[in-house]
A and B are shown apart, each in its own frame.
Chain A
Amino acid sequence: MKTDIILAGVGGQGILSIAAAIGTAALNNELYIKQAETHGMSQRGGAVVSHLRISDKPIYSDLISEGEADLILAVEPLEALRYLPYLATKGYIVTNTTPFVNIPDYPTAEEIMKQLHQQTHLVAIDADKVAEDLGNKLASNMVMLGAAARFLNHIDLTALEKGIAELFSRKGEEVVKANVDAIHAGKTLVDKQFQD
């Protein structure tokens, strides 16, 4: 059983923290992981992507093959579209709807949402709003991690919480709690969408 995840966003939006949280949880569950990151030039406000692979068997390639990603987890809607060739037919897109506009030819939000809704399996939430409502604007990446939780095979919410606690323990209990709350908020919202 493997889960191949494309994590997409803009440099500085915190996709490496999402990757680290999932990665730590996977290791605690004694799974294999490989995680290819974007460092260097593109981190300066450019498009960034991380290939995160989790499996109960050894993993060879650091990169995911086209058409084989189980999940595109995007903290920015335009970035969700950038990696469509990687998505498997059965795969899901879980994306934030708040645009990060730092280029002159950024499309309108309507155009982007129209394209997103043409995809077969889409979960779209306004993570920035959810985070703001929680009083922690910076935690929108963790809201997105919560939103994607139901698609992470063999990693449940408890494992994610433990992963977060390990990652943020040095920053104090308050930071851990804020991030755990953000995950819960994201997960609850998406679980509700699936019940409806």
Chain B
Amino acid sequence: MQKVLLGAEAIAQGAIDGGMSGVYAYPGTPSTEITEYIQSNKYAREQKLHSMWSTNEKTAMESALGMAYAGKRAMVCMKHVGLNVAADCFMNAAVTGVNGGMIVTVADDPSMHSSQNEQDSRYYGRFAQIPILEPSNQQEAYDMAYAAFDLSEEFGVPVMIRITTRLAHSRAVVQLSPVRSQNSLKLPDDPRQFVLLPNIARKQYRKLLAGQSLFEEKSNTSPFNQYHEGTDKTMGIIACGISMNYLMEKFPEGCPYPVVKVSQYPLPRKLVTRLSEETGYLLVLEEGYPIIEELIKGYLEKEQVKGRLDGTLPRDGELNPDHVAKALGLPVHKGNDVPSLVANRPPALCVGCSHHDVFKALNEALKELGDGRVFSDIGCYTMGALEPYHSINTCVDMGASITMAKGAADAGLIPAIALIGDSTFTHSGITGLLDAVVENSPITIIISDNESTSMTGGQESSAKGRIEAICEGVGVLPGHIHVVLPVKKNHESLVKLIKDELNYPGVSVIIPRRICVQKNRRDIKIKQVAKSI
């Protein structure tokens, strides 16, 4: 049986076929398609595999660990910056270990196609000292998700699968393996394994450390890592993950240099040592940070290593076949230049989007107070920083709008405004709101509610129908919670409402609520299809 799958979908299919009982995730490009695939997969639905969205990556990671505690196989998926949110649980899950297999799939976004940074999750894998799998193509993405549960159960630790945007969003044919059944419910053999009191944690941590040499030996013999012989020994190449494809692309008849393909970490020391001994110098091709290059080269630079650090490859951004060709000293036959008249076409808010009405009202309400006091967040409304609105002054991390506004107000920037979306608010805004309520900070919070997680494709938001109740429950005074309909005819009243609340020296929440136009269109289509059936 074969299927055409995105790299992200291949991981989903591999986990389903590998006997997974549930996936936990919060949407984030380029990881979203993994969970969406499982949600719509027929077999997964029949088997009732868990696939509902979580409120954020931390709750997702903890739920997955809970499932693994109970002996079943679980996967948690996120984009790279989502792992920052989940890092507390992630680091400790390496210490507790797991009972059923647990996969942590992280999709990095080098070149920042849809992200705030291009951090490399392999650092996190090393930080937690767990095995990492990095597929080079869609087939490996499938095979690794399938095999990662075995690896996780063999060593009793979570296993990371790290992919990047290019593989996540590229399709190819994938051959499927036989479907395995799920684990049955089974408590951990050691009832204290998951109780990280200091004396138990120390014991567990030593167990993790003792596993390190075993993980490395597994890497040395892993079918995902290979030593390819080569005749020209002036140079040896270490090709990590997807960079192996770019190398093969340039040498379709076979690479003349010896190559170590690395798709499983810790680094296969035996293969790398042999490569270093047999060749003049090393070239490291890796997607993301120069983590392996730095590791091999060392602080004292005793090894002669080329890569991103010495300029052989660009220091930032994703790799492509042209970068690799240049690093190999091969010619690149670039076509004609892009004519200068070709203007950038950045993303824009959709026609009819409710955020338009919010920005228009906000800009007018702030005319007298002046610029520089709108703290915003991650979502479609971040585009309010661009033409024509220039409404917002910050976009840092999920939920930072409310807490940064609070900090700025503490510093004397009064009033300060936070602009956040409904899904981001439930992801990481509620705890910040509590901080503001506790001190009755003079901030006005606009929760631009489009009843959807829109930037990632309109997933259901956990906030739906609950936002004002949450705000009230956290302690915002009911008289300062306003739900309004952001449409043209309500412009004047919205401007007045914002101005009034800016004059109030405490926490106020304005909730302009109108469903995302894209989500609305999709919902209508789904209803029509349901009716016709």
A129 to B387, CA, bound (A): 31
For A84, give its contact among B33, B321, B335, B341 (CB under 8 Å): B335
Would you call B348 and A61 a contact (CB within 8 A)?
Answer: no
Given A35-B170, A40-B113, A40-B114, residue A85 in contact with residue B249 (CB < 8 A): no
Would you call A61 and B335 a contact (CB within 8 A)?
Answer: no
Would you call B171 and A34 a contact (CB within 8 A)?
Answer: yes
Q: How many residues of A contact B (CB 8 A)?
A: 55
Would you call A27 and B4 a contact (CB within 8 A)?
Answer: yes
* Residues in A neighbouring B348, C-beta threshold 8 A: 44-46, 102
A47 to B348, CA, bound (A): 10
Interface string of B245-269 (1 = CB under 8 A from A): 1101100100000000000000000
Would you call A32 and B335 a contact (CB within 8 A)?
Answer: no
Q: Is A89 an interface residue, CB under 8 A from the partner? A: yes
Closest Cβ–Cβ distance, residue B340 to chain A (whole Å): 10
Q: Is A68 an interface residue, CB under 8 A from the partner? A: yes
Would you call B4 and A104 a contact (CB within 8 A)?
Answer: no
Q: Is B411 an interface residue, CB under 8 A from the partner? A: no
* Residues in A neighbouring B29, C-beta threshold 8 A: 39-41
For B455, give its contact among A27, A41, A102, A107 (CB under 8 Å): A41
Q: Is A10 an interface residue, CB under 8 A from the partner? A: yes
Would you call B334 and A103 a contact (CB within 8 A)?
Answer: no
* Residues in A neighbouring B339, C-beta threshold 8 A: 81, 84, 115
Residue of B nearest to A43 (CB): B347
Q: Is A56 an interface residue, CB under 8 A from the partner? A: no
Residues 300-350 of B at the A interface (beta carbon under 8 Å): 320-322, 325, 332-339, 341-350
Would you call B332 and A115 a contact (CB within 8 A)?
Answer: no
Would you call B114 and A41 a contact (CB within 8 A)?
Answer: yes
Would you call A33 and B172 a contact (CB within 8 A)?
Answer: yes
Given A44-B348, A45-B348, residue A67 in contact with residue B171 (CB < 8 A): no
Given A33-B173, A78-B345, A115-B341, residue A62 in contact with residue B335 (CB < 8 A): no
* Residues in B neighbouring A38, C-beta threshold 8 A: 113, 169
Given A62-B242, A85-B334, A115-B341, residue A41 in contact with residue B113 (CB < 8 A): yes
A125 to B332, CA, bound (A): 31
For B341, give its contact among A57, A64, A103, A112 (CB under 8 Å): A112
Residues 151-210 of B at the A interface (beta carbon under 8 Å): 166-167, 169-173
Would you call B4 and A47 a contact (CB within 8 A)?
Answer: no
Residue of B nearest to A37 (CB): B169
Would you call A111 and B345 a contact (CB within 8 A)?
Answer: no
Q: Which interface residue of A36, A59, A60 has the most chain B CB atoms within 10 A?
A: A60
Given A41-B113, A119-B336, residue A35 in contact with residue B171 (CB < 8 A): yes
Q: Is B380 an interface residue, CB under 8 A from the partner? A: yes
Task: Give the bracket for the number of chain B residues in contact with chain A.
Answer: 35 or more
Q: Is A66 an interface residue, CB under 8 A from the partner? A: yes
A47 to B346, CA, bound (A): 7
Q: Is B59 an interface residue, CB under 8 A from the partner? A: no
A131 to B413, CA, bound (A): 56
For B335, give its contact among A41, A87, A105 (CB under 8 Å): A87
Q: Is A188 an interface residue, CB under 8 A from the partner? A: no
* Residues in B neighbouring A41, C-beta threshold 8 A: 29, 113-114, 347, 455
Q: Is B456 an interface residue, CB under 8 A from the partner? A: yes
Would you call B171 and A85 a contact (CB within 8 A)?
Answer: no
Would you call B345 and A10 a contact (CB within 8 A)?
Answer: yes
Q: Is B30 an interface residue, CB under 8 A from the partner? A: yes
Q: Is B383 an interface residue, CB under 8 A from the partner? A: yes
* Residues in B neighbouring A159, C-beta threshold 8 A: none
Residues 327-386 of B at the A interface (beta carbon under 8 Å): 332-339, 341-350, 380, 383
Would you call A85 and B169 a contact (CB within 8 A)?
Answer: no
* Residues in B neighbouring A107, C-beta threshold 8 A: 341-343
For A40, give its contact among B170, B252, B338, B455 (CB under 8 Å): B455
A89 to B322, CA, bound (A): 17
Interface string of B502-521 (1 = CB under 8 A from A): 00000000000000000000
* Residues in A neighbouring B137, C-beta threshold 8 A: 60
Q: Is A169 an interface residue, CB under 8 A from the partner? A: no
Closest Cβ–Cβ distance, residue A43 to chain B (whole Å): 7
* Residues in A neighbouring B320, C-beta threshold 8 A: 61, 63, 65
Q: Is A146 an interface residue, CB under 8 A from the partner? A: no
Would you call B30 and A67 a contact (CB within 8 A)?
Answer: no
Would you call A46 and B335 a contact (CB within 8 A)?
Answer: no
Q: Is A82 an interface residue, CB under 8 A from the partner? A: yes
Given A27-B4, A40-B456, A61-B245, residue A46 in contact with residue B347 (CB < 8 A): yes
Residues 45-94 of A at the B interface (beta carbon under 8 Å): 45-47, 51, 57, 59-69, 78-79, 81-89, 91
* Residues in B neighbouring A47, C-beta threshold 8 A: 344-345
* Residues in B neighbouring A60, C-beta threshold 8 A: 137, 245-246, 248-249, 252
Closest Cβ–Cβ distance, residue B429 to chain A (whole Å): 21
Would you call A66 and B171 a contact (CB within 8 A)?
Answer: no
For B342, give its contact among A44, A46, A82 (CB under 8 Å): A82
Would you call B171 and A33 a contact (CB within 8 A)?
Answer: yes
Q: Is A153 an interface residue, CB under 8 A from the partner? A: no
Q: Is A11 an interface residue, CB under 8 A from the partner? A: yes
A103 to B346, CA, bound (A): 8
A118 to B338, CA, bound (A): 12
* Residues in A neighbouring B167, C-beta threshold 8 A: 62
Q: Which interface residue of A33, A85, A106, A107 has the most chain B CB atoms within 10 A?
A: A85
- Interface positions of B (Cβ within 8 A of A): 4, 6, 29-30, 32-33, 113-114, 137, 166-167, 169-173, 242, 245-246, 248-249, 252, 320-322, 325, 332-339, 341-350, 380, 383, 387, 455-456
**10 extra A-B contacts, CB within 8 A, seeds A43-B347, A61-B249, A103-B346:** A39-B114, A40-B456, A45-B350, A62-B166, A66-B332, A79-B345, A84-B337, A103-B344, A107-B343, A115-B339
Q: Sample 29 A-B pairs with CB under 8 A, ordered by A number.
A: A11-B347, A36-B169, A39-B29, A39-B32, A40-B29, A41-B29, A45-B348, A47-B345, A59-B172, A60-B252, A61-B245, A61-B248, A61-B321, A62-B166, A62-B245, A65-B320, A65-B322, A66-B322, A66-B335, A78-B343, A79-B345, A82-B338, A82-B342, A85-B335, A85-B336, A85-B337, A89-B333, A102-B348, A107-B341
- Interface positions of A (Cβ within 8 A of B): 10-11, 23, 27, 32-47, 51, 57, 59-69, 78-79, 81-89, 91, 102-107, 111-112, 115, 119
List 5 tightest A-B contacts by C-beta distance, closest first: A40-B29, A67-B333, A40-B114, A46-B347, A61-B249
